[in-house]
Structure 1
Amino acid sequence: MKTWYICASAASAALACALAQPSLAQSGAPAAPTTDAAGAEASPNADIIVTGSRIRHNALDQPSPITFVDKADIDRTGLSSIADVLQRLPSAGGGLNSKNNSSGNLGNPQDGGGVGAGTSEINLRYLGSKRTLVMVDSMRFVNASSASGVPGSVDLNSIPQAAIERVEVLQDGASSIYGSDAISGVVNIITKTKQRGLEVSLQHGLFKEGDGFTRNYDVSYGFGIPSAGTEVVFGGSYTQQKPVFRADRKFALFSHPFITSCDSSCSSATPLGRFIVGDSDLTLTGPVEGRPSLTDFKDFTNADRYNTAPLNYLLTPYKRYAAFATVTQPLGDHIKFSSKFFFNRRQSANQAAPLPLFIGPDSGNGNLLDTITIDGSNPYNPFGTLYAGDDTHAANYSFVARRLVENGPRHYSQTVDTYYGSATLSGDFQFLGHEWNWDVNGLYGKTNARQTFTGNVNAAHVQQALGPIANCTDPCVPLDLFGGAGTITPAMLNWIAFTEHDRSMQKIWDGTANITGGLFDLPAGTVSVALGYEHRKLTGSFTPDPIIQAGLGADIPAQATAGGYNVDEVYGELSVPLLKDKPFFKLLNASFAARYSDYSTSGSKVTLKGGGNWKPTEDLMIRGTYAQGFRAPAIGELFGSLSRFDAPVNDPCNNLNSPGFNATVRQNCIANGAPSTGAYEQQGAQLPVLTGGNEALKPETSRSWVGGAVYSASWARDWARTLTLEASYFNIRIKDAIGAVDPQTLLDRCANTGDALACGAITRSATGQVTRIVGTLQNISSVKTDGLDLNLTYRSPTTGAGSFGLSWQNTLTFKYDEISPTADGTSTVKRAGTEPGTQAYPKYKSIATIDWSLSNVTVSLTGRYISRVHEDGGTNDGHEMGARLYGDLQVLWDTKLANRDFTFAVGVNNIAGTNPPACYNCSLANYDPAVYDLPSQFFYARVGVKM
């Protein structure tokens, strides 16, 4: 059997050798013995369990590409979240992280998309975090909770970082092996099961400006009882990150890049108010005590708009407290018991500018605020009675908008507790002349989230406070929306304001039984099989504040969601060695897998997978797989109640009477409800989109091809301890993809083509303002993507000048197409090389690390490259976002002090302080936080000790 080693790469993005590459560890010595997925120690030349198969085999026979990320790789980044580390992989398409300041201030889409609230996710191949399966020690983990919906993906921040031994990233479909969600790949987090003594790591970091301070404290202790074979490891982590405000970065100071004062992109809800009454569009010239006169108003212009940016976070604050424990206990020579427990508490926050209170028929709130009549008896109303329109009075005002600066910023604070425990009974026996291994596993996980929102107001109290005055009796206090900043008194706020309390929960129960072993021998080796059964039950709920459920909030309306499902599955795998040590066939293996899944909500499904690897010579391996995949609808997608999401989109019908406006677009806009006479201008930068679940959803299905080769240059051993080149082509197609058509796409399609389906989803007020875009979840589209991964690894021999290494990983995305239905057929949106405002789809991403080690000092320099993209849609369609190159540097010193092993490291990320490319369509930050770094250098220092 060939010897194999785990490659510990030098890339700060956790670049690692592909598992199939025979290589040496970055330190220049063979990697230490590792552990299998169940936690058992394995020698370097043993058959082991590797992510992507439940059959024990030599890692060199793995037909699928795998990237390893070990503890040293994580430490080398200086990052405080494993999600941030994994998001740097070129094959990762970004995902939510702590640079996303989007919580309830944007909305609560029930599919979990857009719920920032402190969650960090991993998204492989740009296919979304819900299509990447996250496991812990080859068992599923509980989905996230954020008190903003019922997400269908895992929050990686809920896994204690001190417990992580390494991460295995399978970049291949694996539904036949692991079930639902493994369409784009699998992230398997392997935890510590054996340790001797105490390990402590302390790290501090901050940006050059002195903000964004982070601290990471990890501690773990392990011991064994040789006489009993017992192994115990326990520990904990404390992580804190302080915020960075948009006000402290020039590029983010306004609502759009490249502006130094407000334009139409700023908010019309200003502290001085905006009042569209009859044909007049007015604002105050300055604050007025009491009832203003009409001479106190002037025409509203873009210069009067309000800049919402300064009080928003660019980097959100959080604290994480985590504890873990693992125990392994033999129960005789052939049976072993093991268990683990995690607890994680995350306290995080999001923040937005003070509440924009919109009242009137053009407001688009979708609740009581759209129908309020402001009575003439209100002591502060200078316009007389303002009717929103009813059976007896026609509307005589469009809306009144007032920024409630007196109530402070909207602040969303989350406390999320995660509990996770598992127990495994495993063993081995001899059967059919071969060793067989079995395991029975049970796990329970729960996430419980509570969110407190300050800055909201009660619509019913607002209505009462606006009159008639006779109905506003104690404790009601008449409300002044007409006097400008400072005129809403504490007594008025005490009546209309309230603190919102939301909560959510998700639970998982999972039980599995697996058996694997050899059936019989062929000339090339043993035919092996794995069989298994799994039963799991998932439940989840989202419970907004009762005032919100009653439709009386002034921010984002939402209704309660609750539901669950259970699933029974059986699977089988077969590994067949066909040829070995023959001319042009040093090795030829084939593998097959099948899984049958029966869902209580989505029916039954069979998925198949086949693969093979061929070594024509000792140095070259050619491999490939074909896989079917599926993803069952998540709880929020099935049972989510209708909720609003305020999407930053641009109405293409804006200024439809301007010179040179396209005649076809003008005609389609008028047919959709835009005014045919007079100027029309979108009043707000965000438009209301209604999303909700659908119990009729079908599972998504997929098929994927992955093929490539790994070349290991044995002829270069004199000057290269390791020289490997890996190439992997991937091709993935998803059918019946669950989602709602992008609201910008709906608006553009309606305006450009008059498509009946798109236009039917858009509702406009009498004045043409978009008051609703319906986006109920459906099996509405398909996705096609393909590309190429190229990886190069080099490690020099150790000389008097030390050793050198190069690790270079690249992903080229050739195509990413989204195909959705229209009234006349289908429409294809080509995403590769574009930025639609939600995440960038660069055609090329690369990360490379050069390192030098001499004695006990290691210096590593990492470069991260992202190719240019152009904005797709909106008023700045085609705007080019240039390529970016980031550089990271770390110096590491290992030494002994007082007979203890100490490690000292200092580093800087983004050495040049490179700014991200400006993005007009990206909400709340002027750049894409899922893909690019914050501007400015980030410095950190770390000390570690083992004793």
Structure 2
Amino acid sequence: MKARRHTLATAIKIAVLCALPTLAVAQEATTLDTITVTGSRIKRAEMEGRVPVQTISREDIERTGLTSIGEIVQELTGSGSALNTKFNSSGNFGFSPNGDGVGAGSAQVDLRHLGPKRVLVLVDGMRWVNESSASGVGAAVDLNTIPLALVDRIEVLEDGASSLYGSDAIAGVVNIITRRNFEGGQVTLNYGQYDKGDGEITGADFAWGFNTDRSNLFLSLSYTNQDEVSSADRRISSIPIQGGSSRIPGGFFSFRDPNGVVYDLTTNAGLNNPTYTPNLPDCDSGVPRTDGFHCVDFSTEAYNYAPFNLLVTPSERTGVFGQYRFSFNEQLNFYVKALYNRRESTNQAAAEPIDLGPGAGTDYTANLLIPADHPFNPFGFALDGGPGGNLITFRRRPNEGGPRIFEQKVDTRYVAAGLEGSFGGERQFFWDVNAAWGKNEADQTNHGSYNARNIAIALGDPAVCAATPGCTPLDIFGFDTITPDMLAYISPLFRDRSEQKLTQVTANISGGLFPTWAGDVEFAAGYEYRKYEGSYNPDPQTVAGEYNGVPSLPTSGEYDVNEAYVELNVPLYAQKDGAGKIDLSLAGRYSDYSTFGGEFTPKYGLRWQVAEDLLLRATYAEGFRAPSIGELYGSQSRFDALLVDPCLVPAGAPAGSTAPIACPGVPVGARQNDPQIPVLTGGNPELQPETARSFTAGMVFSPSFAEGVSWSDRLDIEVTYYRHDVEGAIQAIDAQTQLDLCATTQDPQYCEGITRLASGEIDTFANFLINLGSIKTDGWDVDVFWTLPETSLGRFKLGWQNTFVTRYEARGAGGQLQPQGPGIVVNDTAIPEWTSNATLDWKRGNWNAAWSIRYLSEMEEACLAADPAEFCDTPTSNTLAATTYHDVQLGYDFDWLKGLQLTAGVNNLFDEDPPVCTSCSLNGYEASTYDIPGGRFFYVRANLRF
């Protein structure tokens, strides 16, 4: 990519009006503390009013009753769909196209619905290492690698910030500020569970610190254990809303007999030794068979895989963190910090299918030959899956092997050290030099999957099997036919591993340059070096092409970047009485990547304090995101997408139906027997960086008539408009959109990579990453913070936060409109038009309480239910009704030692079920947006200071 080189002076293109306030604290327009906040590198500047920053305090965190940073930030009104422990992401949920694997057990953050990979996560202003899922090399941070016990507050910048922080900060920045200056000890014990008696959470945090005149030390130890919730234990998730699978326990056999007659058979219920009688009438005759088989009817016999999944995945997390700070003198400080975190998590899916014949996942299973003399072949003739063979397809769900279980162990290590200082006389300058190293490595053990090579040997020539150590001839014809000896040969363990490392060095300086009549011109400047290294190493059996499940190959790569930035705060106007003030901010960063070259990103902001109680501000920023290691070098993988093939007759349609679209090479009347279509994904070394433009404009109004009066101590009203435009977004075209365009246009740009079997069903579907056309989104944040005067009833505080998404439009490289949009659910992601959180806090003496309301507006989706009459409004669409959750909490502070606080609460007090989602991959609801079905959650917490 050719580097873009221009200067700040030539890049000022817009007239700015106003900007958004800091949500968290509702920083008033009249009192802006002189501290560094997320969104600026300048120290001791009035920057809090310049950019949209939310601050989630320790008190806010404890009010939620949640135990994960990811769960907390996912409840922000500006948050979008992201992985969490409610995603049972291994198994059929499959691989994303981003080269990051399945992200099993992780928790991520999405801002403005632009995706987790476009959010930069910092800890104390330094980047955190991206996740390794054990199945890929991710482009986002797993927030479950950062223990909640070490958090003092979380600052969330909802604005483009590439000029200040570099790549990935397109949608915003999450900066986790650790606890320091902590005196004494604290023990926190947590317990909670759902009212169904499952999903138990236990946790214990220990914090201790001391301070002297010249040093301070903080240590924390945390433990959290989240038990599973089975999909079988909730009504919505216990049934396959999209219809069951064609991989059934009795097997589905489609073949041509020696007379050339095609049969689509399955085993009669319960038989483990079926008999086959040749030359009986074919299935189209309607004459029942009289042997051990019958003609399959998927409208009644499809397999219910749903009960074997998980609604909440179990997760056990242990973290140790410490930091020490020492002051040599008033001008020089030293710090060092270190963290170790272990996450052990589990995902589960139904028994792994065994597919044989054309379209099977490996050469071993696609081209196998089951000879006539195989001891368990009931047909009396060979079944040949090779070219020109008589085996059309074979599908079997071997329940004897149990469900697939994916166990992850994820270790995160982090070390950082630095020097901070100042110099100068009347005009002070502040500097810091920092170095940090982080490593995230994951191992995954897969139980219940199969070795395709061993399957082929065990179903092949009996003499070859007899000569192969450990081989036992395999019986897959019938129910419960696979013995433990057979399983021992075809079902070994599979172990995958991945890791990521981040090394970074930064140097920064800030201070006042010179005075003007309106105030000091202030600046910040710095240099940053980062090196990224990542690798994914699947099991050797997988590398050899023997894995019966999702194929994948090793991935490895690295790149580094050198960056320099400068930021200026220029006062333009100031009234003598301080009531009015206008400041201009300018920032720019040049980044030189070893993978694609250089990039310059500017940012401009205007802050206008119109009066003591009114602040207007705006920002305009250009940004970019470099492709990650997984996106560049990720190997080919596969996921099973829920797709409607317009070239095939829908499952369950009456006999004689035709497909919606007649497609070349698809036989008339061919049916789609399974809603899950395997889609191949993978990285693309030709990818270029994404570029972005962001704009925010808004106001904060803190009316003086509402300050210190009988009905109000303080009132803050904040309104913000935001807009993000991303060009060349790294993304795969929506698979359903690609399939529909291929069917309707037969254009090679859409059909290339889609191949079909002789039966008409899709054999391969290539859906690799590209630089997609664009993503454009805009909307409004409207927030109200009101503190009432203290009375005999206590003190009340009200916070009401709202996000309105007015546009979300994604287009492919050829201009194809993607299906995402405001008020729409698609591909396990939801974009509500209106999200609202309201919290009423109360405190009286030692008592405190909170009542929170979370609201999500109604949304629409395409109806993919097998029975539209039961689950959908129309045969083609479904409305997800507006949903409101109520959370309550009550606490009491005891005057014992330094304080004992007991707290009890209920989340989802009125047991609101999520609306049914017929297009979502698993469990019948959208897991990144809604609470789980049957989700009234009770918790208690004890917090002792000493």
* TM-score normalised by the chain length of structure 1: 0.91
Task: Measure the CA separation in 1 of the matches of 2:461 and 2:849.
Answer: 73
Instruction: Describe how 1:704-723 pairs up with structure 2 within 5 A.
Output: 704-717=694-707, 718=709, 719-723=711-715
* Distance of aligned partners of 1:800 and 1:326 in 2 relative to their CA distance in 1, 3 Å threshold: same
Q: What is residue 142 of structure 1 aligned with on the other side? A: 129
Task: Measure the CA separation in 2 of the matches of 1:831 and 1:230.
Answer: 52
Task: Measure the CA separation in 1 of the matches of 2:930 and 2:93.
Answer: 21
The counterpart of 1:274, out of the listed 236, 248, 252, is 252
Q: What is residue 917 of structure 1 aligned with on the other side? A: 915
Q: What is residue 346 of structure 1 aligned with on the other side? A: 343
Quote the offset at 1:22 in angstroms: 2.1
The answer to whether the 8 Å contact 1:815/1:830 transfers is: no
The answer to whether the 8 Å contact 1:736/1:781 transfers is: yes
Task: Measure the CA separation in 1 of the matches of 2:25 and 2:608.
Answer: 15
Q: What is residue 466 of structure 1 aligned with on the other side? A: 459
The counterpart of 1:250, out of the listed 215, 226, 235, is 235
Q: What is residue 282 of structure 2 aligned with on the other side? A: none
User: For 1:734-775, what per-residue CA distance to the aligned partner results, in whole angstroms no more than 9, with x for missing partners?
Assistant: 000001111111112222344432222311111111121111
Quote the offset at 1:937 in angstroms: 0.5
* Distance of aligned partners of 1:747 and 1:582 in 2 relative to their CA distance in 1, 3 Å threshold: farther
Task: Measure the CA separation in 2 of the matches of 1:755 and 1:72.
Answer: 57
Q: What is residue 395 of structure 2 aligned with on the other side? A: 401
The answer to whether the 8 Å contact 1:19/1:62 transfers is: no
Task: Measure the CA separation in 1 of the matches of 2:853 and 2:625.
Answer: 35
Q: What is residue 7 of structure 1 aligned with on the other side? A: none
Q: What is residue 86 of structure 2 aligned with on the other side? A: 99
The answer to whether the 8 Å contact 1:656/1:680 transfers is: no
Q: What is residue 727 of structure 2 aligned with on the other side? A: 735
Instruction: Describe how 1:551-566 pairs up with structure 2 within 5 A.
Output: 551-566=545-560
Quote the offset at 1:801 in angstroms: 1.6
Higher mean C-alpha deviation, range 832-841 or range 534-543: 832-841
Q: What is residue 930 of structure 2 aligned with on the other side? A: 932
CA RMSD across the alignment: 2.1
Q: What is residue 40 of structure 1 aligned with on the other side? A: none
Quote the offset at 1:584 in angstroms: 11
Quote the offset at 1:86 in angstroms: 0.5
Q: What letter is aligned with 1:709?
A: M
The counterpart of 1:785, out of the listed 755, 769, 777, is 777
Q: What is residue 774 of structure 1 aligned with on the other side? A: 766
* Distance of aligned partners of 1:429 and 1:60 in 2 relative to their CA distance in 1, 3 Å threshold: closer
Q: What letter is aligned with 1:794?
A: W
Q: What is residue 371 of structure 2 aligned with on the other side? A: 375
Q: What is residue 699 of structure 1 aligned with on the other side? A: 689
Q: Which SS does the other structure have where 2:698 is aligned?
A: strand
Q: What letter is aligned with 1:22?
A: E
Instruction: Describe how 1:844-883 pairs up with structure 2 within 5 A.
Output: 844-872=834-862, 874=864, 877-883=876-882
Quote the offset at 1:783 in angstroms: 0.2
Task: Measure the CA separation in 2 of the matches of 1:496 and 1:772.
Answer: 25
Q: Which SS does the other structure have where 1:441 is aligned?
A: strand
Task: Measure the CA separation in 2 of the matches of 1:487 and 1:687.
Answer: 28
Quote the offset at 1:53 in angstroms: 0.5
Q: What is residue 632 of structure 1 aligned with on the other side? A: 626
Task: Measure the CA separation in 2 of the matches of 1:462 and 1:940.
Answer: 48
Instruction: Describe how 1:156-305 pairs up with structure 2 within 5 A.
Output: 156-226=143-213, 229-256=214-241, 265-278=243-256, 279-290=262-273, 292-294=275-277, 295-302=291-298, 303-305=300-302
* Distance of aligned partners of 1:271 and 1:619 in 2 relative to their CA distance in 1, 3 Å threshold: same
Q: What is residue 17 of structure 1 aligned with on the other side? A: 23
Task: Measure the CA separation in 2 of the matches of 1:753 and 1:551.
Answer: 35
* Distance of aligned partners of 1:23 and 1:239 in 2 relative to their CA distance in 1, 3 Å threshold: farther
Identity of aligned residues (%): 41
Quote the offset at 1:381 in angstroms: 1.2
* Distance of aligned partners of 1:423 and 1:192 in 2 relative to their CA distance in 1, 3 Å threshold: same
Task: Measure the CA separation in 2 of the matches of 1:886 and 1:586.
Answer: 42
Q: What is residue 32 of structure 1 aligned with on the other side? A: none
Q: What letter is aligned with 2:799?
A: S
Instruction: Describe how 1:29-44 pairs up with structure 2 within 5 A.
Output: none
Quote the offset at 1:609 in angstroms: 0.2
Unmatched runs of 5 consecutive residues or more in structure 2: 1-20, 257-261, 278-290, 866-874
Quote the offset at 1:108 in angstroms: 3.4
The answer to whether the 8 Å contact 2:357/2:386 transfers is: no
Q: Which SS does the other structure have where 1:749 is aligned?
A: helix
Instruction: Describe how 1:779-818 pairs up with structure 2 within 5 A.
Output: 779-818=771-810
The answer to whether the 8 Å contact 2:91/2:348 transfers is: no
Q: Which SS does the other structure have where 1:472 is aligned?
A: helix
Task: Measure the CA separation in 2 of the matches of 1:543 and 1:500.
Answer: 11
Task: Measure the CA separation in 2 of the matches of 1:885 and 1:361.
Answer: 49
The answer to whether the 8 Å contact 2:182/2:218 transfers is: yes
The answer to whether the 8 Å contact 1:146/1:449 transfers is: yes
Quote the offset at 1:585 in angstroms: 6.9
* Distance of aligned partners of 1:404 and 1:58 in 2 relative to their CA distance in 1, 3 Å threshold: same
Q: What letter is aligned with 1:283?
A: T
Matched pairs, number: 892
The answer to whether the 8 Å contact 2:349/2:405 transfers is: yes
Quote the offset at 1:374 in angstroms: 1.8
Do residues 318 (structure 1) and 318 (structure 2) align?
no
* Distance of aligned partners of 1:231 and 1:828 in 2 relative to their CA distance in 1, 3 Å threshold: same
Q: Which SS does the other structure have where 2:400 is aligned?
A: helix
User: For 1:329-348, what per-residue CA distance to the aligned partner results, in whole angstroms no more than 9, with x for missing partners?
Assistant: 01222100011111100000
Task: Measure the CA separation in 2 of the matches of 1:19 and 1:499.
Answer: 51
Quote the offset at 1:653 in angstroms: 2.2
Q: What is residue 752 of structure 1 aligned with on the other side? A: 744
Task: Measure the CA separation in 2 of the matches of 1:513 and 1:656.
Answer: 61
Q: What letter is aligned with 1:705?
A: F
User: For 1:367-397, what per-residue CA distance to the aligned partner results, in whole angstroms no more than 9, with x for missing partners?
Assistant: 422222222121111232111133xxx1312
Q: Which SS does the other structure have where 1:750 is aligned?
A: helix
Q: What letter is aligned with 2:500?
A: Q
Task: Measure the CA separation in 2 of the matches of 1:654 and 1:242.
Answer: 42
Task: Measure the CA separation in 2 of the matches of 1:887 and 1:23.
Answer: 32
Unmatched runs of 5 consecutive residues or more in structure 1: 1-14, 25-43, 257-263
* TM-score normalised by the chain length of structure 2: 0.91
Ranked by relative contact order (alpha carbons within 8 Å, sequence separation 6 or more), the top structure is: 2
Quote the offset at 1:851 in angstroms: 2.0
* Distance of aligned partners of 1:833 and 1:46 in 2 relative to their CA distance in 1, 3 Å threshold: closer
Higher mean C-alpha deviation, range 124-133 or range 402-411: 402-411
Do residues 546 (structure 1) and 536 (structure 2) align?
no
Task: Measure the CA separation in 1 of the matches of 2:672 and 2:337.
Answer: 55
* Distance of aligned partners of 1:323 and 1:656 in 2 relative to their CA distance in 1, 3 Å threshold: closer
Q: Which SS does the other structure have where 2:457 is aligned?
A: helix
Quote the offset at 1:271 in angstroms: 1.4
Task: Measure the CA separation in 1 of the matches of 2:655 and 2:834.
Answer: 38
Task: Measure the CA separation in 2 of the matches of 1:545 and 1:663.
Answer: 44
The answer to whether the 8 Å contact 1:330/1:336 transfers is: yes
* Distance of aligned partners of 1:830 and 1:356 in 2 relative to their CA distance in 1, 3 Å threshold: closer
The answer to whether the 8 Å contact 2:249/2:399 transfers is: yes
The answer to whether the 8 Å contact 2:54/2:155 transfers is: yes
The answer to whether the 8 Å contact 1:784/1:815 transfers is: yes
Q: What is residue 661 of structure 2 aligned with on the other side? A: 666
Quote the offset at 1:46 in angstroms: 5.0
User: For 1:62-90, what per-residue CA distance to the aligned partner results, in whole angstroms no more than 9, with x for missing partners?
Assistant: 31111010111111111111110110001
The answer to whether the 8 Å contact 2:100/2:137 transfers is: no
Q: Which SS does the other structure have where 1:751 is aligned?
A: helix
Q: What is residue 37 of structure 1 aligned with on the other side? A: none
The answer to whether the 8 Å contact 2:45/2:522 transfers is: no
User: For 1:248-268, what per-residue CA distance to the aligned partner results, in whole angstroms no more than 9, with x for missing partners?
Assistant: 001111111xxxxxxx72011
The answer to whether the 8 Å contact 2:906/2:939 transfers is: yes
Q: What is residue 9 of structure 1 aligned with on the other side? A: none
